[in-house]
Chain A
């Protein structure tokens, strides 16, 4: 663990991995070495359900620009949904 910049949040939703859909319980957000992406460091998000073991994981590894764009887009889409009156909390 070379940066140790990692945060875990609890979430609700579903994720799809090799064995199909499963219930998500946590998201782990880190800025550290990616496993696959060709960068020294990446913004990594692991959508997981720890109670199901290490394999219950949907992983993404993004470059910094993509991560920032993703954050902005999620916020913008939620705002639109809110304005449209369809946002169910």
Chain B
């Protein structure tokens, strides 16, 4: 993002409640630039460790770059406490049901598109399980302008991996995807492995979808997370450049 040092900038960021699946109110952290806009938007789907500080920061980062960013708490129904305690409870329950996630994300899309200061162009972003959820939601919900899949695990799934909560592999919904996909992956990741990423890429190719995949060398799972040993500075900075360029091309227009 290019901006001048004498340029005005302001941001509003706060938690609120937004109707999700079946109209149920769930927590959402909404960050947006101040001003009348209109601004493009992005739904920011948290990872397995929950609705945590990294996701608060990334939500504000998108707002700093000119997007209305909405991060829903997909674990809202599990109760409240510190994010990792809530996430541990969800992990024990086998994760949140895919249908519920799709409903929650669709609720966020409807919420943000109805805002008078939104252009109506909305992307969906996620990392880890959040990337899986982002792909799943984008493939089943018309109206997204772009999806960003950062190392989404279990987008491809073997039959024995299917569960009551995750009954269909997201890759099987590829035909329904109506927007381009940006993929950011690490070559040393074990979930997804490069072979699993290749299966997803093949499905996108087979269905004639627009996609842009980047496989980073010497990077494993979650290499953007500066608070984890997996952090890789060079690859992370390049990955963010890819994200901004992709959003400029498909969402900011």
A-to-B contact residues, CB < 8 Å: 1-4, 6, 8, 26, 28, 30, 32-33, 35, 38, 40-41, 44, 46, 48, 50, 53-55, 57, 59
Q: List chain B positions with a Cβ less than 8 A from chain A.
A: 48-49, 78-82, 84-92, 94-95, 128-129, 153-154, 161, 163, 166, 190-191, 220-222, 228-230
Report chain A residues within 8 Å CB of B230.
40
Q: List 22 A-B contacts (CB under 8 A).
A: A1-B94, A1-B129, A1-B154, A2-B129, A4-B94, A4-B163, A26-B92, A28-B92, A30-B92, A32-B48, A33-B48, A33-B49, A40-B190, A40-B221, A40-B230, A41-B190, A44-B88, A53-B79, A54-B82, A54-B86, A55-B82, A55-B85
Cross-chain contact B94 with A6 (CB below 8 angstroms): yes
Return the chain A residue nearest B157 by Cβ: A4
| Number of residue pairs spanning A and B whose beta carbons lie under 8 angstroms apart | 78
The reply to whether A35 and B87 contact each other, CB–CB distance below 8 Å, is yes
**Is A38's CB under 8 angstroms from B229's CB?**
yes
The residues of A that contact B154 with a CB separation of less than 8 Å are: 1-2, 4
Q: Which 3 A-B pairs have the closest CB atoms?
A: A2-B153, A28-B92, A54-B81
With CB as the reference atom, state the residue of chain A lying closest to B228: A38
Chain A CB within 10 Å — which of B89, B94, B191 has the most? B89
A8 to B94, CA, bound (A): 10
